[in-house]
Amino acid sequence: MNAFKPGLEGVVAFETEIAEPDREGGALRYRGVDIEELVGRFHYEHVWGLLVDESFEPGLPGPEPYEPRNLSGNAPSDLQAETAHLSGVWGLRKLVDIDDGQARDDLARLSAEMMAIVARSARVADGHSEPVPEEVVGQGETAAEKFLLRWRGQADPRHVQAVDTYWICTAEHGLNASTFTARIVASTGADCGAAMSAAVGALSGPLHGGAPARVLPMLDEVAKRGDPEGYVSELLARHERIMGFGHRVYRAEDPRARLLRATAKELGAARFEVAEELERVALAALKEYKPDRPLETNVEFWSAVVLDVAGIPHELTPAMFACARVAGWSAHILEEKRTGRLIRPSARYVGPGGRPAAAVGGELVPS
């Protein structure tokens, strides 16, 4: 048996044709196309097409009319629950029982609806139970514009650009925790709604998709104190992590961080200066703190600043990430379906040896 690797670091679990970040961090390519070439030239819905269909056209369709049930305004939990619920409402069939074309169409329907659910949940969080009329949403030209219209009833072009760029940069990133989850569920032959909703759960944790939510409060604290060096050294002295730095794969700057930093600057992000200053100080401190492990800026640091341009509240950032990642998840679910192989790894048992039940704690008397 192969050696155990905690966190499966460096373990190759699949072969993929979709994307895989190169460790040295030079570039991120979706189906061979550098994301630098995509930002500013294509919209997110076309990038969804590139990832899922290997074609920019027809891309991601608009969502079907659908009224989500009891939205709480907590977007990740609304999204996870509603996505699972859609399998039943739409009668989605199991992946083992449908062909690739049907699976692709199920994923397109789900992707579009998931983005609409997040917009509706964000609207509830803002205190509006009534949806924005479809005629208003329909005036939007792109997925990002429609998303903002569905949420707020209006869409400032700067906000649209911020969201579109963020979604393009985070649409896919190889085998991270949520994508792995989606593939595991797909490998059991479950339906697409089950695979997508499971992925949302995996993405909601701060070590994967929730980091931007923690970056803005950090920037605010630094701005308030006016002492980034002191702030960073106190965090590290407590052995806490600086959110937005470090990556399981990259050992150099995350190319998405580079693109999003440029977008934050171009859009005149309010927190650009404080973010740049904190980045400079944090990188220097991390170099000293872990001289043997390169800890560079990751996508989530500059994502937080770009999403802030669009006034995205930090609690909503994991769900915004999920909106982007529906493309990558869909592509991986399809790829997994084509392999047709159940994912079932092994664990090395290190628990107690054989022993009588009486040796286990508790007062229960066996019947």
Q: CB nearer to ligand COA: give 235 or 327.
A: 235
Q: Which of residues 193-212 bind ligand COA (CB under 6 A)?
A: 207, 211
Residue 244 binds ligand COA (CB under 6 A): yes
Residue 300 binds ligand COA (CB under 6 A): yes
Beta strands (DSSP E) in the chain are 29-30, 33-34
DSSP string, 320-352: HHHHHHHHHHHHHHHHHHHH-----------S-
Residue 328 binds ligand COA (CB under 6 A): no
Q: CB nearer to ligand COA: give 89 or 207.
A: 207
Q: CB nearer to ligand COA: give 287 or 293.
A: 293
Residue 7 binds ligand COA (CB under 6 A): yes
In angstroms, the CA 228 to CA 281 distance is: 7
Outline where 142-210 has alpha helix (H).
143-152, 157-169, 177-187, 192-203
In angstroms, the CA 102 to CA 313 distance is: 36
Query: Which one of residues 4, 88, 290, 340 is an interface residue with ligand COA (CB under 6 A)?
Result: 290
State in angstroms the smallest separation of the CB of 6 from ligand COA. Answer: 8
Residue 248 binds ligand COA (CB under 6 A): yes
In angstroms, the CA 216 to CA 271 distance is: 9
Nearest alpha-carbon partner for 81 in 202, 207, 205, 200: 200
State in angstroms the smallest separation of the CB of 47 from ligand COA. Answer: 19
Q: CB nearer to ligand COA: give 145 or 300.
A: 300
CB atoms within 10 A of CB 220: 13
Q: Which residues are catalytic?
A: 247, 300
Binding site for ligand COA (CB under 6 A): 7, 207, 211, 241-248, 290, 293, 295, 298-300
